[in-house]
Amino acid sequence: MRIAVISDIHANLVALERVLAYIDTLAVDALWCLGDVVGYGPEPGACVERIRARATVCLLGNHDAAVVGRLPLEGFNPVARAAILWQREHLSQEHMAWLASLSPRWENPRVTLVHGSPRHPLWEYVDNQRTAAANYEAFTTPLALIGHSHLALAWRLHKNRRVRASLEGSEPGTSMPLDLSDKWLLNPGSVGQPRDRDPRAALAVLDFDALTWTWYRLDYDIEAVEQAILAAGLPQVLGRRLYLGW
């Protein structure tokens, strides 16, 4: 079974459509989304529609939760708050209800899905070895898929709760073997707002039969997104940062 895994779309419809079109070429069996369908970007409703139609599983992200009033805005920076407030005015009641129905955690016997981290599913950033190791006991499956940091990262957790290796963004398209004698935290990176200094949209494929994880990166029309951000009256920085991958 092959699963396409995406996260952190952030209302970037141009990037999402590029990613979905590429997924259609990969012969996967399902699509999983790790949350933050909305937040930051100019086309939240269209992104909700695409993910609601395509994803077998979709998690609640912290921006999704904030848009529907399940998280206070005090924890967000001024730019993020401005986008959240704008999106509350531009999402339909149907879209808001769908977002509110989501959960930040989902699991089956083989894999745990969370938006942030297994111990704090909505908000914790797993972006360093210490935090990765601290999550060892927070999930019981061999694999955990995480988003939130917007970083294409893999953390291999040894049973003594040390991080055996930190593997960052191996060459896109190269499959990374998963040794299930250890646990893994796997982040596909961000579709709509990468922060690893690579502006290309990110996705990954988890192959349960071959036991591999494969990252992909895709160019998309950033200028079109920037123009949509400006036309919506959202903060200009939300467009400029897309060129930097940060």
Mean pLDDT, residues 102-128 taken together: 97
State the pLDDT at residue 170. 62
Mean pLDDT, residues 93-118 taken together: 98
CA distances from 10 to 17, 80, 164 (A): 13, 11, 32
Question: pLDDT tens digits, residue range 12-52?
Answer: 999 999 999 999 999 999 999 999 999 999 999 999 999 99
Of 122-126, 159-163, 239-243, minimum mean pLDDT range? 159-163
In the chain, pLDDT over 90 holds for what percent of residues? 92
State the pLDDT at residue 211. 97
Q: How far apart are CA 184 and CA 154, in angstroms?
A: 7
Mean pLDDT score of the chain: 95
Q: Is the pLDDT of residue 161 over 80?
A: no
Q: Is the pLDDT of residue 164 over 80?
A: no
- pLDDT tier at 90, thresholds 50, 70, 90: very high
Q: How far apart are CA 59 and CA 184, in angstroms?
A: 19
State the pLDDT at residue 166. 64
What domains lie within the chain, and their CATH numbers?
Answer: 2-244 (3.60.21.10)
Burial classification of residue 233, based on how many CB atoms lie within 10 Å of its CB (0-12 exposed, 13-18 middle, 19 or more buried): exposed
Contacts of residue 168, defined as CB under 8 A and 6 or more positions apart, other chains included, come to 151, 152, 153, 154, 196
Whether the pTM exceeds 0.75: the reply is yes
State the pLDDT at residue 17. 98
Q: 69-94 as b/e, with b when 16 or more CB fall inside 10 Å?
A: eebeeeebeeebebbbebbeeebeee
State the pLDDT at residue 168. 54
Mean pLDDT, residues 70-77 taken together: 95
Query: What is the number of other CB atoms lying within 10 angstroms of the CB of residue 205?
Result: 21
Strand pairing of 183-188 and 105-107?
unpaired
Helix, coil or strand: residue 205: strand
Q: Is the pLDDT of residue 232 over 80?
A: yes
